[in-house]
Amino acid sequence: MALNVDIVAPDRVLWEGEASFISAPSVEGSIGLLPGHEPILSVLGAGTVMVRQLGGEERKVEISGGFISFDHDTVTIVTEPVQAA
Partner 1 sequence: MAGQQRVYKARIRSTQSLKKIFRAMELIAASRIGKARDRVAAAAPYSSAITRAISAVATHSDVEHALTSERQDTNRVAMLVITADRGMAGAYSANAIREAERLRERLAKEGKEVVQFAAGRRAVSYYSFRKRELAGKWMGDSDSPSHKVAGEIAETLLNAFLAKAEDGGVAELHVVYTHFKSMVSQEPRVIRMLPLEIVEGVADATDDVEPLYDFEPGAEEVLDALLPRYIESRIYSCLLQAAASELANRQSAMNTAVSNAEDIVRNYTRLANSARQAEITQEISEIVSGADALANAS
What is the rounded CA–CA span in Å between residue 62 and residue 31?
15
Please tell me whether residue 85 binds partner 1 under the rule CB under 8 A: no
Q: Select the residue interacting with partner 1 from 2, 30, 32, 71 (CB under 8 A).
A: 71
* DSSP assignment of 18-68: EEEEEEEEETTEEEEE-TTPPPEEEEE-SEEEEEEETTS-EEEEEESSEEE
Task: Check binding of 18 to partner 1 (CB under 8 A).
Answer: no
Q: Is 26 in the site for partner 1 (CB under 8 A)?
A: yes
Total interface residues for partner 1 by CB under 8 A: 25
Of 32-40, 46-54, 55-63, the segment contacting partner 1 by CB under 8 A is 32-40
